[in-house]
A = this chain, B = another copy of it.
Amino acid sequence: MEFSDLSTFSAVARCGGITRAAGELRTVQSNVTSRIRALEAEVGVPLFERHSRGMTLTGAGRRLLPYVERLAALSREAMAATRDDGVPKGPLAIGAMETTAAVRLPPLLARFHQACPAVQLTLRTGPTAALVAAVLDRSLDGAFVAGPIDHPDLTVVSAFKEELVLVTARRWASLAALRKGTPEAGPTALVFRTGCSYRQRLEQVFAEFGWPCTTRLEFGTLDGIIGCVAADVGVALLPRTVVARSELNGSISAHALKSSQSRVETLFVRRRVTHEDAALRTFAACMQSSAPAVAARTSIV
């Protein structure tokens, strides 16, 4: 049971055939054949059924496959733990929602970079679902997302508490004025392109106001949304901290909602591992120490 054999096995299972797997593994078909045959001889049972269009896993192969994943993950972690001398360094990929990246991260990243200049930190923005998927498949080390998150392979820490506000053009002085001055079809909803976690909250708000929420404009960036809100194209639901500056300079109005609608928590998620990379560990510590009042650990399921 060598690791190299297991990864060939995994490639053949994934590709559905020896020839295709050989291409992926940058080797020739005969080698893959012999490696698979050696593995089958070692465990003593056939792992694939051969048929004319390729190979499919047998019952034994299906039982082995998840172990290959686990062994690969464990050996990666072993390697990382062995190399890790406790000094934060190397690459660190962090993900965040657009709104979090705009106002919460700049001071945190500045402090982290000052504390750990040897870490090459990269930031990627996106919607919660994509960020969580990226953390799970290891393309991100950690991410700031909207809760709730509950996954056995993730640890979750409360990072920031946000108050969502309904953002409108300046001329709407209050929610009551907005309701009175808006046609029955309701205003246009300005939201992020895909998978924005706040969209669902916005629809709740619209439902309460009796608006059907049919007109929607999708944006890729925060500035686009705020700009269109200022031009009275529509309304948006955003964290108060995000719009604080625009509100101050008078380009928009922010309207408070009742707390059941406005309270959202930004969580920091990362993979659950026995040995955590020093850079990520330090980043999490840095984050928690920056916001001690809201950094209580949540229960992890």
A residues contacting B by CB (< 8 A) are 1-4, 43-45, 47, 59-61, 63-64, 67-68, 70-71, 74-75, 77-79, 81-85, 275
Contact A45 B82 (CB under 8 A): yes
Please indicate the chain B residues that have their CB under 8 angstroms from the CB of A77 in the complex: 67
Please indicate the chain B residues that have their CB under 8 angstroms from the CB of A84 in the complex: 63
CB distance from A234 to the nearest CB of B (A): 51
Please indicate the chain B residues that have their CB under 8 angstroms from the CB of A2 in the complex: 2-4
Please indicate the chain B residues that have their CB under 8 angstroms from the CB of A74 in the complex: 67, 70-71, 74
Contact B1 A78 (CB under 8 A): yes
Interface centre among A63, A82, A84 (most CB of B within 10 A): A82
Contact B63 A82 (CB under 8 A): yes
Q: Chain copies in the assembly?
A: 2
A74 CA to B64 CA in the complex, in Å? 11
A60 CA to B81 CA in the complex, in Å? 8
A68 CA to B78 CA in the complex, in Å? 8
Partner of A63, one of B45, B75, B275: B275
Contact B81 A63 (CB under 8 A): yes
Please indicate the chain B residues that have their CB under 8 angstroms from the CB of A3 in the complex: 1-3
Contact A60 B43 (CB under 8 A): no
| Contact A43 B79, CB 8 Å, known A63-B275, A74-B71 | yes
A98 CA to B84 CA in the complex, in Å? 49
7 contacts between A and B (CB under 8 A): A1-B75, A1-B78, A59-B85, A60-B85, A61-B82, A63-B275, A68-B78
CB distance from A38 to the nearest CB of B (A): 14
Please indicate the chain B residues that have their CB under 8 angstroms from the CB of A275 in the complex: 63
A59 CA to B2 CA in the complex, in Å? 26
Contact B63 A67 (CB under 8 A): no
Please indicate the chain B residues that have their CB under 8 angstroms from the CB of A70 in the complex: 74, 78
Please indicate the chain B residues that have their CB under 8 angstroms from the CB of A4 in the complex: 2
